[in-house]
Amino acid sequence: MSPPAAWPDAVTFAAAWQRAVDAHAQQSFLIFERADGSAHEWTYAAFDSLVARAAHALAARGVAQGSAVHLALANAPAFVAA
C-alpha cells in the first residue's frame, strides 16, 4: 500500500486557532447566555487560556496524544473548550 497523499498546504486546527488568537487576542470570541439570562464573554486570549487549563488538567491525569476521552457536557462554553 502506498503512503497517503501529502497535503502540502494543510493547516491543523491548532495552527489556525493560534493564528486567530495572535491576530484577535482582545476581541470577543464567545458570548454565552445562561438560562437565567446572565451572560459571560470571552476574548480569544481568555478562551485560549481556558483551553490550555483544560488541556493541562487532562495531561496531569495521564491523558496523552492518542488517548480516548469521553465527554458528557451540557450546552455550555466547556463544550467548546473541550
Q: What pLDDT digit, counting tens, does each position of 15-25 carry? A: 999 999 999 99
Q: Is residue 59 part of a domain?
A: yes
Q: Is residue 4 part of a domain?
A: no
Q: Is residue 2 part of a domain?
A: no
Quote the cell numbers at residue 68: 480516548
Number of domains forming the structure of the chain: 1
Q: Is residue 50 part of a domain?
A: yes
Q: What is the pLDDT of residue 7?
A: 73
Q: Is residue 5 part of a domain?
A: no
Residue 38: which domain range?
13-81
- Cα 2 → chain centroid: 33
- Residues 81/54, Cβ–Cβ less than 8 Å: yes
Mean pLDDT in residue range 19-48 = 95
